[in-house]
Amino acid sequence: MREARDRQGRQDAHERRRDGRSEDVVVLVSDRRERAERLARGIALVLPCRVIEPGAGLPAGRLIAFVVDLATDLAADRGADRGHAWVTWLTAKIRESGLPCLYLARGNAAQDAAAVTLLGTPTVVDPRQSAGIVPTLQRLVAEGKARTARGGPATGGAPPEMRVERATALVTHLFDNAAAGRPPSPAEAEEGTQIVLDTVSEIGIRPWLDLVWRHDIQVYQHSLSVAGFAAAFAAELGFSRGDRQRLAKAALLHDVGKALIPHAILNKPGALTAEEMAVMRTHAALGADLLAKETAFGPDILDVVRYHHERLDGSGYPEGLTGPRIGDLVRLVAICDVHSALTERRVYRPPLPAAEAAAIMEAQAGQLDPDLLRVYRPIIARAGTAAGGPSVLD
């Protein structure tokens, strides 16, 4: 299959050199030749269209949208020996592109839901309503071009609710991989980070938390909440785009080691015993050791995962580091982590109001960086509590 993609790539490069131009192209992915030809003819009446079959590479030209119409189950194909690499490659390309994607539903709810997760946040249409396929595609392409012209994010077209659903699915998969002893996928971590940054920038931290907390999966909610706080914190500090991305990604991954903690301890509704607490505290080192297996995660990310529970006065864990030995990225995520923990709903207590959370955090100024805490205070006010508590500080 790699050879097929290489051949296709060489052919496309040859065509580009021969034509000396690059046209807009809608990519129709299909394994049903006759049906694909009919659909491609309809699309070609309004937009240039190229059909690719399983195993093929992407066509030449400036890609503007994808249409996915496959008879096979995308999720099942990923688990098979044949086709696995191509499906993984294709779905990653579609997600990374940020381009409009039209998915023609197969009528099987479970298979369609799995395909939607793999593809990101495609627009799903019923192929039996063929008259609506081309107009829907036209609309998506026009909206995508309008966003680009406005300088907006390529992935910003989906409603925030759908983006949070996608982010939750990504974090769930990251933790599933970790529970199986596999490091998180760098591509999925990058996609999740991008969703957090774009959405928090667009709608603000309070609506982000409201959407995240609709999903009743506490450890994943916490990761997305901390990442949201980190995105807001980075903006407050005036960070560059690259530094915002680095901070939000570190925050998204900071608790990945909890996937390796027994559920009986992780989900215990009451206080942990001393022995259980000792086990829980291993999550920081476990997470960092797991991420170290994947070279795409740099030392700054590993430091956040390993040291986000360290405190400036040496009272933290796992190594009892003191101020000068705790890096800036770790200090930033530690503040976001504490804030999230105080204002989340827990089975044993309600979320704390903003004023109470702020007071507790300021009392920890010997443990948390006091200068950074001063910058962070407006975010506490804007965020309120995860249960919709007061958002104005006393």
Q: Determine how many CB atoms are found less than 10 A away from the CB of residue 35.
A: 14
| Full set of structural domains in the chain with CATH | 2-150 (3.40.50.2300), 160-383 (1.10.3210.10)
Contact criterion met (CB below 8 Å) for 111 and 78: no
Q: What is the pLDDT of residue 252?
A: 97
- Tell me what pLDDT residue 13 has: 41
Mean pLDDT of the 144-155 span: 54
- Cis peptide leading into residue 378 (ω within 30°): no
H-type alpha helices, the chain:
2-19, 33-44, 74-79, 84-97, 109-119, 133-150, 160-179, 186-203, 205-212, 218-236, 241-253, 263-266, 274-280, 283-291, 299-307, 328-343, 354-363, 370-383
Q: Is 20 a residue whose pLDDT tops 70? A: no
Q: Rounded to whole angstroms, how far apart are CA atoms 325 and 4?
A: 51
Q: CA 119, CA 112: separation in Å to the nearest integer?
A: 10
pLDDT in tens, 257-300: 999 999 899 888 888 999 999 999 999 999 999 999 988 899 99
CA-to-CA distance for 383 and 361, rounded, in angstroms? Answer: 15
Residue 330 has pLDDT above 60, yes or no: yes
The per-residue pLDDT for 147 is: 58
Compute the residue count for the chain. 394
- Give the model confidence (pLDDT) of 151-190 as tens digits: 444 444 577 888 888 898 889 889 999 999 999 988 889 8
Contacting residues for 222 by C-beta, under 8 A, at least 6 apart: 255, 340, 341, 344
What sign results for the dihedral spanned by CA atoms 258, 78, 8, 116? negative
pLDDT tens by residue, 91-119: 888 887 778 899 998 888 778 877 877 78
Residue whose token pair is 């396929």:
133
Q: Are 221 and 171 in contact (CB under 8 A)?
A: no
C-alpha distance from residue 42 to each of 26, 125, 373 (Å)? 12, 16, 58
Cα–Cα nearest to 64, from 125, 199, 194, 154: 154
> pLDDT tens digit string along 28-56?
999 999 999 999 999 999 999 999 999 89
Does residue 91 sit in helix, strand or coil?
A: helix
Beta sheet of 62-69, edge-to-edge order: 49-52, 24-30, 62-69, 101-104, 123-125
Q: What is the mean pLDDT of residues 342-371?
A: 88
* pLDDT the model gives residue 347: 65
pTM assigned to the model: 0.63
Q: Cα 338–382–303 angle (5° rounding)?
A: 30
Residue with tokens 């050879």: 3
Q: What is the C-alpha separation between 169 and 217, in angstroms, rounded? A: 11
Torsion region of 239: left, alpha or beta (phi above 0 gives left; psi -120 to 50 gives alpha):
beta
pLDDT surpassing 90 at residue 87: no
**Mean pLDDT of the region 319-334:** 96
